[in-house]
Amino acid sequence: MGIIKRYLAFVKPYRWRIIGTLLIGIIKFAIPLLIPFLMKYVIDDIISVSNMSADEKTRKLFVTMIIMLVIFAVIRPPIEYYRQYFAQWTASKILYDIRDRLFTHIQKLSFKFYSNTRAGEVISRVINDVESTKDFVITGLMNLWLDAATVVIAIGIMLTMDIPLTFVSLAVFPLYMISVKYFFGNLRRLTRERSQALAEVQSYLHERVQGMSVIKSFAIEDHEQTQFDKNNSNFLQKAIKHTNWTAKAFAVVNTITDIAPLIVIAYAGYQVIHGNLTLGTMVAFMGYVERLYNPLRRLVNSSTTLTQSIASMDRVFELADEKYDIDDAPDAVEVKEVNGNIQFDHVTFAYDTDEKPVLKNINLNVKEGETIALVGMSGGGKSSLVSLIPRFYDVSEGAVLLDGTDIRKFKVRSLRDKIGMVLQDNILFSDSVKENILLGKPDSTEEEVIRAAKAANAHDFIMELPKGYETTVGERGVKLSGGQKQRVAIARVFLKNPPILILDEATSALDLESEHLIQEALDELAKNRTTFVIAHRLSTITHADRIVLIEHGEIVEVGTHQELMEKKGHYYDLFQVQQLN
């Protein structure tokens, strides 16, 4: 099975530890098999011996039990400990490696993937589904084989005692195999459907917890409860269907395994009555039948667990197989020195091949150190245009060139390393202020962090926070105001010190004082850098070297503020409307 072969690639580095754990496990599982044999010995060779005195029988029993006590109380506990420890350690290491690989993978996936996939779905696969595959290691690679070894050892011992009775004990075994094959054929599909339904519940919950302020502000708790109940009910139906099938399987298999001891009692009792079998052998066989069919019952549990694990593997590798929309070309090179000349050469762009282009035949040549303001109505294509520069998306036609070279010839990470971005809604992580600024350049010193914060007009408010730079900002920076979040975001770009700067609505929706402080910081940041500014408030970009008006994905007008005002075209009309407001 291909999916298991792929999973075993993660297991391979730990194969010797797994083999060692199995060997320890065989000893651990073999020790309890002494109990039925001990019962036979005590009954046939001590209790039932007529020519031995009570004192001799007692001494023999005492010596035998001392030996057994040493085996069970001294030898077995450390064996049990190391079996459990090595099994869990190995499984945890394998899961660590898988999650590590998945996180590397999801960081490479494009914005297109994340725009079409809910965050909760990704989290469910990386956390829940990966965790479910642990059972494949513990059960499939260890316990399954140990149970099989227990069955083989038990049958071997039984054959040495009485061959016909051994075959009687195994009479229902074919029925057991047929029932397992029948019932567990559909279980993988049912398990996968159940896992998908659970992931949908988690995704919905993740989104609603993040958007709880919207739910409360619109007083739509009842509506959201109804919507959640739909998702929850879907999961309930899948879970009940899965449970129903599993319950049937257990009912049939356990009935079959429960019949086996009855057959053994009937046959062995008959043989004992007619003097063909000792009482000790009959008692021992009853013990071995229990130890024979207990592992078989566990194998049914294991089948359920393994089916769950394999269904989870399907989902894990489905995520791992997501293609990269943006990837390095085989001959891609590092971006080294950057002057900052950027050219859009007949660029057309659509988010999907079956959608209409959002940018059409864009031609724009931006010189080193120039500040370009992109203006126009919402949905015109401004943000789409600047998202092509760091290759968040690739052009559908044409090319974007950096210093005369198509950016697709550069390694993506090295290209993005030369670009700084300040957005309208900057994401801050729930770390300290210092850690959020350090995202700009993680190996920076504390002095460099403070210098960047001062340049962003952020140092003063940071020092007023309860723990200064060590203050945690909460999820998405919830503990900071909009203006404070923006200044922290600007500080990390100052720290990064990139030659190319993109400012996407960086001062919108702020109060006047915050806007003044941030505009001052942005003007300082833009010095000697090629800068793209997207702004709805035209009064904030009148200083730009050139203003580019984009409407319906096309460049309509280009010029300085003065030139465009004198032209009295679309830009002039927009500016006049805003001045009147």
- Residue whose C-alpha is closest to residue 510's, from 467, 457, 562, 474: 457
pLDDT of residue 279: 87
Residue 517 lies in a domain: yes
Element holding 55 (H helix, E strand): helix 54-70
Q: Residue 485 falls within a domain, yes or no?
A: no
The phi, psi pair for 338, rounded to 5°, reads -120, 125
Taking the C-alpha atoms of residue 320 and residue 109, their distance in angstroms, rounded to an integer, is: 10
pLDDT for the residue 580: 59
- Listed residues 162, 196, 216: the one ending a domain: 162
Residue 530 in domain: yes
* First-to-last C-alpha distance (Å) of the chain: 67
Structure confidence at residue 42 (pLDDT): 83
- Residue type at 559 in one-letter notation: G
In a domain, 23, yes or no: yes
Q: Round to whole Å and give the CA distance between 223 and 80.
A: 53
Tokens of 193: 């459907």
Distance CA 333, CA 406 (A): 11
Residue 332 lies in a domain: no
Question: Contacts by 82-89 with C-beta closer than 8 Å and gap 24+?
Answer: 82/24, 83/21, 83/24, 83/25, 83/28, 86/17, 86/20, 86/21, 86/24, 87/21, 87/25, 87/137, 87/138, 87/142, 88/138, 89/17
Residue 114: CATH number of its domain: 1.20.1560.10
Q: Note the pLDDT of residue 264.
A: 84
- Alpha carbon of residue 86 to chain centroid: 24
pTM reported for the whole predicted model: 0.73
Residue of 445, 450, 439 lying closest to 498 (CA atoms): 439
Low-confidence ranges of the chain (pLDDT < 50): 509
Report pLDDT for 93: 92
CATH number of the domain residue 522 falls in: 3.40.50.300
Query: In this structure, what DSSP letter does residue 323 have?
Result: P
**At 554, which helix (H) or strand (E)?**
strand 554-559
Number of domains present in the structure of the chain: 2
User: Does residue 44 form part of some domain?
Assistant: yes
Distance CA 231, CA 239 (A): 12
Q: How far apart are CA 176 and CA 240, in angstroms?
A: 25
H/E run at residue 401 = strand 397-402
Minimal CA–CA distance to 547: which of 558, 539, 555?
558
CA 34/CA 66 separation, integer angstroms: 14
Cβ count near 517 (within 10 Å): 22
Q: What letter does residue 396 receive in the DSSP assignment?
A: S
> Within a domain: residue 459?
no
* Amino acid sitting at position 409: K
Q: What is the DSSP letter of 346?
A: E
Alpha-carbon Rg for the chain in angstroms: 36
The answer to whether residue 54 sits within a structural domain is yes
Listed residues 112, 138, 162: the one ending a domain: 162
Within 13 A of 565's CA, how many CA atoms are on the CB side?
A: 10
- Of 110, 143, 162, the domain-final residue: 162
What domain range is 529 assigned to?
342-422+498-580
